[in-house]
Chains A and B, each alone.
Chain A
Amino acid sequence: MNTTRRTVLKGATASGVLAGLIAAGALRPTQVLASEWNKAAFEAKDTAGALKGIGAAAPADSKDLVLKVPDIAENGAVVPVDVVSNIPKTTSIAILVEKNPSPLCAQFEFSNGALPEASARIKMGQTSMVKAVAKADGKFYTAQKEVKVTVGGCGG
């Protein structure tokens, strides 16, 4: 725990005040450093609401946003999703599943050399469109693809 703490402190030396607060135990590192969870977007019950929640009410279709998902998922509990944005100045990528009870799965913001791409594994309750949404230069872009969810056999 101590080494971890030191590392986090080192990372925060840019702001002496912040480091001081953390060291004093007034603030926990992760709380300080991670952005606040976007409750409205994640708890939205439909895609429109989720998109609105992340500020992307009407994203434009883009071929430069590459969404790689299986045509048929082996198991809806673990669907691999890979998103790569070739749109210049992409700063964030979000993943949504239209028919999930809460469509927004995740959103990642990139900085300091991170390439605008992300892979994750998500749950899908049923066959649905999977959507990627990228933010680039203040505008939103989207790409989507259907993933069929199958029923499997026994113990594998």
Chain B
Amino acid sequence: MADPMKIRAQLKGDVAEIRVLMSHAMETGQRKDAAGATVPAHFIQSMTIDVGGKRVVDGQVGGSVSRNPVFGFKMKGAKAGDKVVVSWIDNKGEKRTDEAAVA
């Protein structure tokens, strides 16, 4: 199973900063391993962020996002304690959902 994400959502004034670290190989399908064999494509394709039950970010991602992706977003209207739910799904259908609270 995919490893958990690390989610941070911090209020700075009326803006919440949301940082997400994801654990994923993000293989483009073009890289060769030490033995010269092509490493098959394996990367996150979609990611979403919901805050307080509402979709805030709907993202699409390609293999050229770095391994173990890091994303940062900002939003207005979030309150301390609001639930932040982040999900991703990759090209093999693997998925992961984690949550945190706005602090």
Within the complex, the shortest CB–CB distance from A29 to chain B, in Å, comes to 7
List the one stretch of A58-66, A103-111, A147-155 in contact with chain B: A103-111
- Nearest to B1 among chain A residues (CB) is A1
The DSSP consensus for interface residues of chain A is mixed
Contact of B74 among A28, A78, A114 (CB under 8 A): A114
CA distance A113 to B79 in the complex (A): 12
Is A105 in contact with B57, judged by CB distance below 8 angstroms? Answer: no
CB distance from B38 to the nearest CB of A (A): 13
Cβ distance B18 to chain A, nearest Cβ, rounded Å: 9
- What is the bound-complex CA distance between A113 and B83, given in angstroms? 15
* B75 pairs with A114, CB closer than 8 A: yes
Residues of B with C-beta under 8 A to A106: 59-62, 65
Q: How large is the interface on B (under 10, 10 to 19, 20 to 34, 35 or more residues)?
A: 35 or more
Chain A count of residues within 8 A CB distance of the other chain: 45
From 56 to 73 in chain B, residues with beta carbon under 8 angstroms from any chain A beta carbon are 56-67, 69-73
Shortest beta-carbon distance, B74 to chain A, in Å? Answer: 4
Which residues from chain B contact A119 at a C-beta distance below 8 Å? Answer: 70-73
Give me the interface of A with B, judged by CB distance under 8 Å: 3-4, 7-8, 10-11, 13, 28-31, 33-35, 37-38, 42, 77-79, 82, 97, 100-102, 104-115, 117-124
Q: Can you list 20 contacts pairing A with B, beta carbon distance less than 8 Å?
A: A10-B53, A30-B88, A30-B89, A30-B97, A33-B48, A35-B46, A102-B62, A102-B63, A105-B64, A107-B59, A108-B59, A110-B56, A112-B54, A112-B56, A115-B73, A118-B57, A120-B69, A122-B65, A123-B64, A124-B64
